[in-house]
Amino acid sequence: MATAIEFNHVSKLYRLGLVSTGTFREDIKRWWITSVQKKEDPYLTIGETNDRGTKGESQFVWALRDIDFKVEQGDVVGIIGKNGAGKSTLLKLLSKITAPTTGDIRARGRIASLLEVGTGMHPEMTGRENIYLNGAILGMTKSEITRKLDEIIDFSGCERYIDTPVKRYSSGMRVRLGFAVAAHLDPDILVVDEVLAVGDAEFQKKAIGKMQDVSQGGGRTVLFVSHNMASVRALCKNGVLLENGKTKMIGEIGSIINEYMSSMVSSENIPISEIPREGKLNNNIKYTQIQFLDFNNNSITPHTGQPLRIRVRVHVSSPGFKAATFTVTISDSMANPMLIYPSSMSTPAFNVAEGTHYFDCDIPKLPLTGGSYRVSLWCGINGVGTDHLENKIKLDVIDDDYFQYGREISANLKGKVVFDEHVWHKSE
Amino acid sequence: MAKNNNGEWTTIIRPKESLWKLNLKELWDYRDLCSLFIRRDITTAFKQTVLGPLWFIIQPTMTVLLYAVVFGNIAKIPTDGLPEPLFYLAGVSLWGYFSGCLGRARSTFTGNVNLFGKVYFPRLIVPISGLVSGLLTFGIQMLLFAVVYCVYVFGHLPGSEHLSMNYTALLFPLYVVMLAGLGLGFGIIFSSFSTKYRDIGILLNYVTSLWMYATPIIYPLSTVTDPRLKMAMQINPVTSIFEGFKYGFLGAGEFSWNWLSYSFIVMVVLLLFGTIVFNQKERNFMDTV
């Protein structure tokens, strides 16, 4: 197969901080060195890798550093990475919104980029007028739009409102209209940034279906950025993992996603001894720390369907106790309990000596869907509570494919339901 | 890595392009977008207003009345013996079109950050479409000018005896093209330089308002007697256009082929220089704007 896109050692340097008199002085100096003295730009050599979390020495960072890979024609490539890894910058370079600092990008065929849906729509104009405007902005000609107009209106599902100004549309309808135009671009190369995250469940299904059609029907190349692992897995064959502006891994999507998930290190140990407790508790056994780990004891951000070990550190006061039990409860963001893991009902009670101990609660396949949850901890001796933290600890779960079936749960159920192993079959 | 033959690639994105690569073909490919931008500007100009396009007439009328009172009656600045409404209306309409083109071109980068940040199309489409949509306002004002002109001539109102039209009025389309070209040229140059330092934008607001007084709008060039001052006025490339227009339609003004040619050359140079700077700037302006 022919190569559709080729990135040749592409780098992009960004300047941090404010533009002010200081930058003006720098610009003059830079101009003097590069244009008058004909030397190399001094600022290009001092850029640092882009790590959002650490404070750097220099004001210049490499948002992308030496990106070098090829995309085959007809391939669907997922680009994944943490926030600030350089995914959007990569798409911006490919969409010609900004130019690379060094290196070049070569591509075959018409590129359409969808970094936002409904770009340039004017609220005072009708849906129909906006289809033309938005289509032309995305690179279609008038006659092309006229030819596809009925199809676009039909796909958007906004037929009734098509001659109404867009400002009267709901935000969801605007997104639908915008996506409908974009879906009919028919480019050779489609570049899509996290646009599927908007819209309701029905729309998402439609959008993913359309993307699948685009990639399967007729050798179109798709570059797709998303934080949603389920949709990346469902759509893409290959993937590129970016980390701090560099390519960390290139290859088959499954292995890329695994690599990405293992690199998602959450805040390691959450100290909890200082969090105020409810009620009167003697604190003979007291929680002092909680960690979310995988079964190899690496710190992780939990993923749906993956193993999760909740490790707690407790402090036991003198002289030690018999019959200690521990309970972890996970509630949704509205504090409705969803899962309970009580040692008193599953495991013989523990005898604990004075001092600090660790206890693990192992969940082999996390049934929570992607979202934000609250964790409660309770412990007691002979059923009498000694420590209780109610909904004080935040737990973020990243949505993933529980059943390994390439399907994603609809957005309105996320964070509200749990999965369980089951089998559906036709009864005899 | 095996490099493919460059001829096969349809798109090559490089850090820098040659200064002279203007890519007019790409502009032509996006002509539909240009016409849709024009249509957008026109259809949305007066949505949800009661008076609608009447505003195109009300605005210059009020300005002309104000000028007639302040400059004509209080300051007693002469108008070459021409009826004040016509004299001011000519200047105000021409200046309105020129400063409109300049203003739209000038805010190309700063005013379209959201759009330009999300999708690529040749950025020059935006100021170019502005030139055409500005013609709507200008056209209506020219109609107003024609109506007032007829009222004066056929109504034999005082001052109408000085009015005379001559063959140089045929240059009118050239005047419009030159105003548009000069506005576009200056505008895209300023736009390119103001992406990083907004100082330029603030400075230009000030310069534009001064520029109006350096152009024969509220006074005729003939009142400037100091030869050095007059030379300075004529170096202003729009002066010859304003004077030429008034000479052609009203019969009073200083028409000069030499100064018109000068303005034309300035326009061509500005457009060439402007497009080069603009093309260089459009590649990276998102990083600094």
pLDDT tens figures, A38-65: 666 655 555 555 555 555 556 677 888 8
Residue A29: inside a domain, yes or no? no
Residue A71: inside a domain, yes or no? yes
Tell me which residue in A94, A125, A137 faces B119 most closely, judged by beta carbons.
A137
Q: How far apart are CA A100 and CA A98, in angstroms?
A: 7
Q: Are A142 and B124 in contact (CB under 8 A)?
A: no
Nearest chain A Cα distance for residue B10, angstroms: 5
Residue A309 and residue A244 share a domain: no
Residue A421: inside a domain, yes or no? no
Residue A165: inside a domain, yes or no? yes
Report the pLDDT value the prediction gives residue B204, as an integer from 0 to 100: 82
Q: How far apart are CA B174 and CA A292, in angstroms?
A: 75
Residue A27: inside a domain, yes or no? no
Q: How far apart are CA B242 and CA B87, in angstroms?
A: 11
Interface test with chain B among A30, A97, A250, by most B beta carbons within 10 Å: A97
For the entire predicted model, the pTM comes to 0.72
Report the pLDDT value the prediction gives residue A341, as an integer from 0 to 100: 95
Tell me which residue in B8, B121, B288 faces A139 most closely, judged by beta carbons.
B121
Residue A418: inside a domain, yes or no? no
**3-state DSSP helix/strand/coil % of chain B, to nearest 5:** 70, 0, 30
Nearest chain B Cα distance for residue A83, angstroms: 18
Whose CA is closest to B167, among B44, B251, B237?
B251
Distance of CA B184 to the CA centre of its chain: 7
Q: Are A118 and A178 in contact (CB under 8 A)?
A: yes
Lowest-confidence pick of A298-307, B18-27, B47-56, B260-269: B18-27
Residue A198 and residue A114 share a domain: yes
Residue A345 and residue A368 share a domain: yes
* Structural element, H or E, at residue A355: strand A355-363
* Structural element, H or E, at residue A310: strand A308-316
Is A94 an interface residue toward B (CB < 8 Å)?
A: yes
Residue A347 and residue A314 share a domain: yes
The gap between the terminal CA atoms of chain B, to the nearest Å, is 36
Above 50 in pLDDT, residue B5? no
Q: Which residues of A touch B43 (CB under 8 A)?
A: 124-125, 129
Q: Secondary structure of A62-99 in the HEC alphabet? A: EEEEEEEEEEECCCEEEEECCCCCCHHHHHHHHCCCCC
Express each pLDDT in B180-229 by its tens digit.
999 999 999 988 888 777 777 788 888 888 998 889 888 888 888 888 88
Report the pLDDT value the prediction gives residue A149, as an integer from 0 to 100: 92
Residues listed for chain A: 428
Omega prior to A319 cis, within 30 of 0:
yes
**Cβ–Cβ below 8 Å for A113 and B283:** no
Q: Which residues of A touch B33 (CB under 8 A)?
A: 136-137
**Cβ–Cβ below 8 Å for A104 and B13:** yes
CATH number (domain holding residue A211):
3.40.50.300
Nearest chain A Cα distance for residue B255, angstroms: 43
Phi, psi torsion values for A380, nearest 5 degrees: -155, 165
Q: How many CB pairs under 8 A join A and B?
A: 111
Whose CA is closest to A4, among A55, A70, A61?
A70
What is A227-294 written as a DSSP string? S-HHHHHHH-SEEEEEETTEEEEEEEHHHHHHHHHHH----S-EE-TTSPPPS----SEEEEEEEEE-
Query: What is the token pair recorded at B60?
Result: 């210059």
Tell me which residue in A98, A113, A116 faces B286 most closely, judged by beta carbons.
A98
Residue A387: inside a domain, yes or no? yes
- Domain endpoint, select from A263, A278, A311: A263
Using a pLDDT cut of 90, give the percent of chain B over it. Answer: 26
**Cβ–Cβ below 8 Å for A116 and B9:** no
Q: Are A220 and A214 in contact (CB under 8 A)?
A: yes
Is A250 an interface residue toward B (CB < 8 Å)?
A: no
The interaxial angle of helices A142-156 and A171-183, nearest 10 deg, is 130
Query: What is the token pair recorded at A116?
Result: 């936002």
Residue A148 and residue A66 share a domain: yes
Report the pLDDT value the prediction gives residue A59, as an integer from 0 to 100: 67
Its domain, for residue A274, covers 270-413
Q: Which residues of chain A have pLDDT under 50?
A: 265-267
Report the pLDDT value the prediction gives residue A133, as an integer from 0 to 100: 92
Beta bridge partners of A385: A380
CATH number (domain holding residue A386):
2.70.50.60
Above 70 in pLDDT, residue B6? no
Beta bridge partners of A105: A7, B13
Residue A239 and residue A157 share a domain: yes
Residue A322 and residue A192 share a domain: no
Tokens 């590069």 belong to: A34
Report the pLDDT value the prediction gives residue A233, as an integer from 0 to 100: 80
Report the pLDDT value the prediction gives residue B286, as an integer from 0 to 100: 75
Q: In this structure, what is the dihedral angle of CA atoms B33, B36, B38, B39, given to the nearest 10 degrees?
A: 180
Above 90 in pLDDT, residue B94? yes
How large is the average pLDDT for residues B141-150? 90
Report the pLDDT value the prediction gives residue B99, as an integer from 0 to 100: 92
Residue A225, by phi and psi: left (phi above 0), alpha (psi -120 to 50) or beta?
beta
Whose CA is closest to A76, among A237, A230, A214, A255?
A237
- Domain endpoint, select from A248, A263, A278: A263
Query: What is the token pair recorded at A36?
Result: 């008058």
Q: How far apart are CA A255 and CA B124, in angstroms?
A: 44
Q: How far apart are CA B14 and CA A102, in angstroms?
A: 8
Report the pLDDT value the prediction gives residue A143, as an integer from 0 to 100: 92
Express each pLDDT in A329-357 by its tens digit.
999 878 889 999 999 999 999 999 998 99
Residue A207 and residue A162 share a domain: yes
Residue A367: inside a domain, yes or no? yes
Average pLDDT along chain B? 85
Tell me which residue in B9, B118, B288 faces A19 most closely, judged by beta carbons.
B288
Q: How far apart are CA B95 and CA B114, in angstroms?
A: 30
Report how many domains make up chain A: 2
pLDDT band for position B71 (50/70/90)? Answer: confident
Query: Which stretch, A45-49, B131-135, B165-169, has highest mean pLDDT?
Result: B131-135
Q: Which residues of B touch A44 (CB under 8 A)?
A: none
Return the higher-pLDDT residue of A269 and B85: B85
Report the pLDDT value the prediction gives residue A327, as an integer from 0 to 100: 94
Residue A306 and residue A168 share a domain: no
- What is the identity of the amino acid at B26? E
Q: Which residues of B touch A95 (CB under 8 A)?
A: 119-120
Above 50 in pLDDT, residue B30? yes
The interaxial angle of helices B125-155 and B31-44, nearest 10 deg, is 50
Is the complex ipTM more than 0.85? no
Query: What is the token pair recorded at A2?
Result: 């022919």
CB burial of residue B282 (10 Å; 0-12, 13-18, 19+): buried
Is A92 an interface residue toward B (CB < 8 Å)?
A: yes
Q: List the domain boundaries for chain B.
A: 49-283
- Domain endpoint, select from A263, A281, A306: A263
Q: Which residues of A touch B13 (CB under 8 A)?
A: 93-94, 96, 99-100, 104-107
Whose CA is closest to A223, among A237, A206, A209?
A237
A8 Cβ neighbours under 8 A, 6+ residues apart: A68, A103, A104, A105, A106, B1
Query: What is the token pair recorded at B58?
Result: 């009300």
Phi, psi torsion values for A372, nearest 5 degrees: -110, 135
Whose CA is closest to A58, among A67, A68, A48?
A48
pLDDT band for position B267 (50/70/90)? Answer: very high
